[in-house]
Every structure is written in structure tokens, then in C-alpha cells.
Structure 1
Amino acid sequence: MVFVVSILLVAFFLLMNAFFVVAEFSLVRVRKSQIDILVEEGARGAKRAKEISENVNAYLSACQLGITLASLAIGWLGEPAVSSVIHEPLAALGLPDAAVSAIAVAIGFIIITALHVILGELVPKSMAILNTERYALFSATPLYWFYRITYPIMWLFNSTTNGIMRLTGHDTASEHQAYTEEEIKILLEESAESGELATDQFEILDNVFDLDDKDAKAIMTPRTDMIAIDIDDDLEEILEIMGANKFTRYPVYKDNTDNIIGFIHIKDAYRLPPDSTKDDLVIRDINPVPESLALDKLMQMMQDKHTKIAVVVDEHGGTSGIVTMSDVIGQIIGSVEDEYLHDDQDEILKVSENNYLVDGSLPVDQFVEFLGFEPVPIYDYETVGGLMLDLIDKIPAEGDSIEIHHDKRTITFTAKTMDALRIDKIGVEFKLDSEEEPTE
């Protein structure tokens, strides 16, 4: 009877030990952000788990107390119970009493230690690691009440611990430590590798941390490529420049581009009444930034100044180039369409019946879908301009054309406008090979 009671008590304390190990590991591993999400979802035990996560050190001490008490009880009850069972068979072998007692104690110690390590430590630890959130919620309420019941003892232990820590020069004021930038990067990489974070999301977040490694000079539009407006030009010339380009903001200079005095917004030009003069144009302030300004600080400056454009100046105060907010955003999310480009440019514009004007940069897959067939079965180009170059087999001049035939139709491709060696606009005309009128 005594043996049965001892074994039942050993089983109870093994479960008790396992519970506190689960509570300890789930408490250490669970993130506060996970608990906050569970609280918002109304998960059972989440509020108690949140309270525990805000006082980690105290509850870890409670876990240690529980583990220590359970371990002592297991050793105190388990080894004698197992030894008593083994003692009689060993004595029957005719061994001396001293040898029998020593062997029985050793075997009992090994068995209880194995049970304690496997069932009381390793298994619950693995369970907590594999399903941290679940066991954090499961253990929260019992752990809370155990801490409350043992609070006087815990207060004494924690006070003594804190006193020793202060004597050794350690600060115990805060138990919460923020992640460093490198640690956050590692967390992001691990989340991406495990599939918890999509690859494109990881790249965006990773790019955010790289902003302070790049400067304004690295992403600016160089001075030689700027489309700028001379303040001394008349209104007609200014509007002509703005109409010939697709930008929304144009830097304005006086005398030369080293003296940028502001910028003109395209919407201010659109709002001018018919009888306006150059004096009616609104020239907005533009902020200068040094070439070496890090992108994170550049973005912060633009947000603080409520602007989306800045002039980059070199060490001598001369103009190096222009940088925009979209240049910075592009460093985060990759290549993007500049927000300062007009977005009303049709890539396939119907000019008249069976006549279309096509942008040379239109992806060839979209154009093939528009045509309804592939002009060339196998192609290694990406745009309509590349398609025409392949068909005409030369760099065309404006007005050059080529015809192809398909399904009793003649399709004529004409280079309408050229941008240096690039085909900018292509005319596409459909005609029936017969004298019948084309139908759509």
C-alpha cells in the first residue's frame, strides 16, 4: 500500500514538474506581439498570459520554485519506492545486505532520474517549443494562481536575487530588452525561410534597413539628365517643355542649373487661365540636401517639410541632381512607376477605324493578345519596339514601315516617332487583303 501511494505521488510530482517546465519555456519563447493578437481574438487565457508576459522575471521565479519542489519530492519519494521493490529480488540472490542496499539505491536512482529527465523535462520542453502559444495560454491561469499563493516566498526570493544582482553591478530596473537591428534582420530571415513571411515582403522589410547605407547621390537624377526650366524663358516656352515631358515637378533655375530657385508643379500650370503671363506661375520652394545625406534621413526630411522633391548639392554648393520621394520609395519596394509621371498615356490608342498608335515600351505579350496572333513564332524581346526591330531588321527612321500578312489581313507597322535609337510610338494599321470593308 505504501508503495502504491509513493508511486502515485511520484506520478503527480512528475506531472507538476512537467507543467512548470512547459510554463517556463512557453513564457520565455512566446512573443508579446503573439499574446496581443490572441487577446484581440478573445482567446481563452490570453489576458492572463498578457499579464504574465509583462512581469516575466517574477513568474519565471515561480516556475523555478515549482520545478525545484517537484524535483525534490520526486527524488525523496521515488528512489526509496523503487529501491524497496528491487531490494527483495537482490537479497534472494544471496548478496550481502550492504551490496543489496547499494545496488538497489543505484538502480532506483537511475530509474527515477531517467523518468524525471525524460517525462519531467525533455518531453514538456519539446512540447512548449513546438506549440508555444497553445501552452502559454494553457499554463497561464494555473501559473498565475501558484504565483499568488506563493507570493510571500517569491517576494523574498526575488528581493534577495535583485539585491545580489545590484551588488554585482547589474541593473534590474527593466526586464524587457529591445531587439537590435541585426537581431531583427535575423528574425526576418528566419521568418522568410520558414515560409511565415513572403519573399517580396521580406525584401521590402530588408530594404528598409538598408536605407541608412545609401545616400542621396546614389539615387538622384544627375544634373545632366535633369529637365529644368529657366526662369527667364517666356510662358509659352515653359509650357512647351512641360508638355513635351511627363513629369509633375520641374526644377526652376536662374542663370544656370547651379542656382535652383524652386520648382513648378504641373497642376499649377494646368490651372492657369488663357490670358495668363509668366508672372502668374507659382514657383514653390525646394529644399537643398547634401549628396551624403542618408536615405532614411532624406525621407524623414521630406515628410517633415511636406515635400516630394529636393535638389542635391555638392560640397561646393553646386547642383548635383534632383531626388524625389519616389526615388526613395523605389529603394524599398524595388523598381516602381514614378509617381510624377502622368498616368493618362494610353499604351494602345485608337486613332481611327482600324488605325492604332502603340507605345513602343508596351510589353509584347499584351500586344500579341491585342493582335490575336504571334507575328514571329519565337521571339527574344520584351516590347513592341523590339518586335518591330526584329521584323524590319534595322534601326528605322521615322516613317519607315513593314507589312505582315495574317488571316487574309495586312498589318502595317510604322515607326511614328523615334527617341534616339528607340522606337517611341508605332502606328498599326489593319487592312483586308480583299476589297471588302474591314469589320470588327
Structure 2
Amino acid sequence: MLTLLVLVFCEVTPKQIAMASNENLCLRSAPLVLFLSWFFRPVIWAVTAVSSALTYLAVGKAKKKLTLEHLLHHVNAAEGAGVVESYEKDMVRNVFRINDTPVEAIMTHRTELFFLRENISVQDAVDSFLEAGYARAPVLKDETEHVLGVISVMELAGALRKSPQAPIKRFLSPPYLVPGTMKANELFFRLKKEPIQLAVVLDEYGGLDGIVTREDIMKEIFGELYDEREETGGEAISPEKGGSWLIQGDADFYDVSDILGLKLEHDSRTHTIGGYLLEKLEEIPKQGTVIDLPEGRYTILETRRQRITSLRFTYRDKPES
């Protein structure tokens, strides 16, 4: 009973009152707090000295360090107090997270890539751009994956009047090549300093792995971005009735962990929930495959090109709300 009284009248109620009228209460109580702090200063000094001495004898002198975990803990506490909005907390977390995110985790993989061949005409390239709805694309040599350069719709528009049947290789810009292991924040600062919109990502053998744009990096901080030509898709992670979750296979692994409240053991090279399940299963699953893991059950709903495109997750033990 005493604990309940302390919780209601000494913890919850004072916080609610302070949040409702903080400035007015501060102005009224400041003189009293100043007097009490001066009056009890000897007692405060004595208690602090004894506590510091006992701490030193027990653990020695330890320097206080502000770690990333402590900072994020304070941000979470600020959200709980209503000082920080939920989306602001997510943005702060994402800003720090891209420091450890390699560009290969956010790139458009070569299997999903829109590209052009060097010998197609300017007119055909413009038609391809209009049909696909992209603003720029890498250009590959013959039938290989060797990147000759990058071309944009604006460059093609300038060439269309003069040489509509000329091969596009005459109008290429040199490609900006980066390794897949480069961190996303480092690439972002490089793209800020130079007039580059698209970087070509190479694998460890020097072959084409994918591309990364400025927009891809911004998405890691602000979430999904759409222009006027794109249709807004469903959420990558969405709840279903009964406590299960519908998840896209390319959903970010850390987003799944955060939203579902799971602590998942995984390889450092795993970047998506689909990759996580392939790591655990050690084979390519088919539609309808059920994977039981310690955290719950995954049901593969759809696959395409040997990749998991959608799945359903059900908790083994439903977490407390």
C-alpha cells in the first residue's frame, strides 16, 4: 500500500503536474529551491563526500563516459516524457546507425538494376528511360557487367536533337566507383562534396554489385521517400490481426528487430530479414516453407528469383505490451 501511495503521489502525479505547467511551477518554486539548497549545503556536502569515499574504496576512481547506448537511452526516456516525438527518436537512431551500415546493405542490387548497353541509340535510350521512370542509369559494356559510365535523361535530352541515332557511349559521364564495404555515412559526405548523384558499388572481385544514390542514403535516416511518379507501397513491416506480422523480405534487419522487439543472433553480413532466414535455413526456401526459430515462426508467403519477397512472423511467446 505504501508503495502505491509513493508511486501515485510522489512519482506519477508530480510529473504530470510539471508537464502540464512546467514554466509557471519553475518560476514559483525557484526561490524556495535556492533557499533550501543554500540551507542544506553542509548536509549535502557531507553526504556527497561520504558516498564518494565509499565508492572510491569499493571500485576505485572511474571516469564517466557517455556511450552511444547511454545517449540512445536518454533519447528513449525523452520520448517517454513527451519531449521527443517518436519519429525524431527514430531519426536520431538512424543517424548513428548509418555509421555502421555498409553501402551494400542499402544499394539496389544488380538483379534489380535498370541499366543500358553502350551501343543502343540515344532515341532508344530515351524511350527506355521514359518507360522505366528513372532519371539516370549505369551503362554496361557489350554483354558483360563492366560499367563504362553513367548517363542521365538530361544528357540524353541534349543529344537527342543533334544525334538521335548515335550510340550513347559517346555521351557518358565517368562512373563513381565505391566498394560495398564502404560505410553509408562516408559515401554521403563524399556525395555532398562532389556533384555526383549515383555511385556504382563493386564487389570484392571488382565486378558490378549494384548502385547507390543520395536518395538511398536519405531513406536510411528519414524513411521511405516517394516522388510524383512513384506509387506509395505498403509498409515493409505491418501488424496483422491475431498478433502476427506481415514482413517484406527486403525489410531492414534492424528495423525488424526494433519494431518486433526481438534480439536476433545473426552474421554481420546480414542486412535484411530475408538474408537472416537464408542464413538460418542454409537453403533456398519455397513458398509455404515454415521456419521455426527460438523467437517465433516464419512462414514464407512469396519468393521471386530465388529471393524471399514476403513472409509472416508469429511470436513463439507473445511479448508483454
- TM-score normalised to structure 1 length: 0.38
- TM-score normalised to structure 2 length: 0.49
Higher-Rg structure is: 1
